[in-house]
Chain A
């Protein structure tokens, strides 16, 4: 209201208002463009690769080893540096579950350091030395029809990307409709208890 009245008095107010409107419009369109470019590509043929930890389940692969989890040519591959990669045909994947977890970081050196810290200082360090991660659980079958399971840990937030990639290639996210949501929620609840 003030501006409307002032416009008659001062000609510069309209120009200022227009500038602010233009700036707001540019900001909104910029954010929109950024959001579009940040959206994960769901091209079914494009290769996809992230860092992951193989917890267990893949044949001829050590448990709890770090490597690259990639999806290419309808195959899910896990490659540890220098080792031949383990691969699972995406067609053989029967179900996919996404969960969350939290773990202490630093491994054995950190544990020893915490134990050696005097006056219970190690416990205080433990309070902050943890990180969240996503777990990706796959059910797949081998050539004889035997049921296998594999578990991967990925950085928090990246589990959803892998899930989207696999779903885009035809993997069902779970046997039931409500199962994945229920499973992931229950896992979070369990971890937080």
Chain B
């Protein structure tokens, strides 16, 4: 009786140890698999980014909106910590940086809003902005392209739409797979990626 109880205890302990070891190995594997997707690791190079001014396209977008999108983009992209340097347009330091991507943003849709109308009616007066943002290499190859929106429906001034838009663009870039971006940069025929990094 005693022997059978000891055997069962030994079996339980052995099973627990096996499960613990298996789980730890699996977790370590997952961590190793996640690490290369981070922009700072992998091949050892980290991209820098130059943000170009906003292209209003054919739309009559107020200059204050263009400036607000540009400045908010710089702030939000700095927060992602995905890039070694985030440079402004025409920054002279850009020529010295080897791995540089250029962010081009073109406004494709703009619905002007009205804060008073929003406050009075709740359902109308929303400010809506939709842009097409492209990450382009120095030689003009597009490595990432996404269409992003930023809106203000209820609270806040009209310029808040630019803040929301910049945050969404930075989120799209952060969620993209920078390892694939790097790989596509090396390829002779790079694929165009969407915001998720899938082909």
Contacts and interface: CB of A to CB of B under 8 A. Distances in A.
B53 interface: yes
Contacts of A186: 60, 62
A144 B91 contact: yes
Contacts of A55: 64, 68, 159
A126 B72 CA distance: 28
A137 B62 CA distance: 10
Interface in B88-103: 88-93
A193 B64 contact: no
A56 B70 CA distance: 11
Nearest to B87: A146
A9 B120 CA distance: 68
A103 B156 CA distance: 9
B154 to A, nearest CB: 10
Interface in A104-129: 104, 111, 114, 123, 126-127
Interface in A37-72: 55-57
A186 B120 CA distance: 23
A185 to B, nearest CB: 9
A148 B88 contact: yes
A95 B30 CA distance: 52
Interface in B17-43: none
Given A99-B64, A141-B90, A183-B63, A149 B116 contact: no
A139 B63 CA distance: 10
A16 interface: no
A144 B86 CA distance: 13
A57 B112 CA distance: 22
B64 A126 contact: no
Interface in A130-169: 130, 135, 137, 139, 141-142, 144-151
A178 interface: no
A130 B116 contact: yes
A149 B90 CA distance: 13
A102 B119 contact: no
Given A57-B67, A135-B64, A147 B89 contact: yes
B71 A102 contact: no
Contact of B116 (A57, A126, A190): A126
B163 to A, nearest CB: 9
Nearest to B127: A190
B157 interface: yes
A102 B116 CA distance: 8
B158 to A, nearest CB: 7
A192 interface: yes
Interface string B62-82: 111011101110000000000
Interface of B: 53, 60, 62-64, 66-68, 70-72, 87-93, 112, 114-116, 119-121, 155, 157-159
The 3 closest A-B pairs by CB, nearest first: A149-B67, A146-B88, A190-B112
Given A102-B114, A142-B88, 19 more contacts: A55-B64, A55-B159, A56-B68, A97-B64, A101-B157, A103-B157, A111-B155, A123-B119, A137-B63, A141-B90, A144-B93, A146-B89, A146-B90, A147-B90, A149-B70, A150-B67, A151-B159, A183-B63, A191-B158
